[in-house]
């Protein structure tokens, strides 16, 4: 369960031909993060999203309820 004030931000991750991962989000305009691993990319994306949300007043992100679906892509 999420704590009060926490939000869900949908992240799209793709592996680039160079072997690194790129994260973007339609929920937070301007979010772009790149890392050597998926975990590193998600950590960077979380930090970037925090900064962008703090500086972009009025950003409407979906609130999480008691349960939610999370797409997990394996391949």
Nearest of 26, 50, 47 to residue 35 by alpha carbon: 47
Rg of the chain, C-alpha, whole Å? 13
Characterise 48 by phi-psi region: left (phi > 0), alpha (psi -120 to 50), beta (else). Answer: alpha
DSSP state, residue 40: H
Task: Look at residue 69 in the predicted model and tell me its pLDDT.
Answer: 54
Q: What is the pLDDT of residues 27-64, one digit of tens each?
A: 888 999 999 999 999 999 998 988 888 787 554 555 65
Beta strands at 32-35 and 12-15: parallel, antiparallel or unpaired: unpaired
pTM tops 0.75, yes or no: no
β-pairing verdict for 21-24 and 12-15: antiparallel
pLDDT at position 74, please?
A: 38
């Amino acid at each position: 369960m999420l704590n009060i004030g926490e939000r869900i931000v949908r992240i799209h991750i793709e592996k680039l031909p160079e072997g690194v991962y790129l994260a973007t989000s339609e929920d937070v305009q301007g979010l772009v993060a790149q890392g050597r691993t998926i975990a590193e990319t998600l950590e960077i994306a979380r930090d970037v999203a925090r900064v962008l949300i703090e500086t972009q007043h009025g950003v409407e992100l979906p609130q999480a309820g008691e349960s939610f679906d999370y797409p997990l892509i394996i391949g």
